[in-house]
Amino acid sequence: MYKIPMKIVKDIQKQQSTSKISDKEAEEAIKTILEWMGEDPNREGLLETPKRVIKAFKEYFKGYSQDPNLVLEKTFGDVEGYSDMVVQKNISIQSHCEHHMAPIIGKAHVAYIPNQRVVGLSKIARVVEIFSKRLQTQERLTVQIAKTLMESLDAKGVAVTIDSTHHCMTMRGIKKEQATTVTNFYLGQFKDDLSYQNRYLRFIAK
Ligand SMILES: [Zn+2]
């Protein structure tokens, strides 16, 4: 059975929050950025902005304080021997790139082949959500979702596809508004058996 490499385990753990910075200190940093932009952080419209930005950041990056493995702890064996792939399509992705802290907006498709036991359907989307709510590269996000499902569910195979728009490419820099990026990662049976991979790709195609 596939064993998750120690390096990935460490990377995932490294992303768990151990911050000692207070909300007040973070708000001060936002105030500094407002001043640096040429704004007056003391004008009426901006007085509460640092507080609101930090509140929003807590939501954008709440994945640092959540453990995706805990979400997958509870599984069900009573499925009349169901053993084919379970495919969940069009799971929305709202993440931020680690290079510019700009939004990554798109969708994920996830499939796994159960090994006797299945997981609650909403839990797959929860795992996608937890890893999305961290600073990411799309490539790493794809691999982290796949490896976590593979390991935690002891699955026979996992496939993950992400299709998204990176705002650091559409709103700044090269400014290619229409560009989308697709990443794929296959483990186990999806990697070893092309017929599984092809069936998965047919399922996720519109
Ligand atoms: Zn970026």
DSSP string for residues in 68-124 = HHHHTS-EE--STT--S-EEEEEEEEEEEETTT--EEEEEEEEEEE-BSBEE-HHHH
Domain total for the chain? Answer: 2
CATH of the domain at 166: 3.30.1130.10
Residue 11 pLDDT greater than 80, yes or no: no
- Work out the average pLDDT over 88-97: 98
Last residue of a domain, one of 35, 60, 85: 60
| CA 156 / ligand 1 centre spacing (Å) | 34
Q: Which of 39, 94, 100, 167 is catalytic?
A: 100
Do 55 and 121 share a domain, yes or no?
Answer: no
CB 109 within 8 A of CB 86: no
Print the domain residue range for 172.
74-204
Same domain, 194 and 129: yes
126 in a structural domain = yes
Question: What amino acid is encoded at 27 in this protein?
Answer: E
- Mean pLDDT, residues 171-198: 95
DSSP letter at 129? H
| 45 & 80 share domain | no
Residue 2 lies in a domain: no
Q: Is 99 a catalytic residue?
A: yes
168 classed as catalytic: yes
The answer as to whether 107 is a domain residue is: yes
Residues 140 and 194 in one domain: yes
Active site residue 13: no
Residue 162 DSSP class: E
Active-site residue 109, yes or no? no
Mean pLDDT of 48-60: 97
Q: Distance between the two ends of the chain, CA-based, in angstroms?
A: 32
Distance of CA 47 to the CA centre of its chain: 33
The tokens for 174 are: 């090269």
Distance from Cα 117 to the centre of ligand 1, integer Å? 38
Residue 177 known to be catalytic: no
Query: How many angstroms is it from 102 CA to the middle of ligand 1?
Result: 6
pLDDT of 83 strictly over 60: yes
Centre of ligand 1 to C-alpha 129, Å, is 19
Instruction: Based on the fold, state whether residues 78 and 156 are members of the same structural domain.
Output: yes
pTM, to two decimals: 0.89
- Looking at the fold, whether 81 and 176 belong to one and the same domain comes out as yes
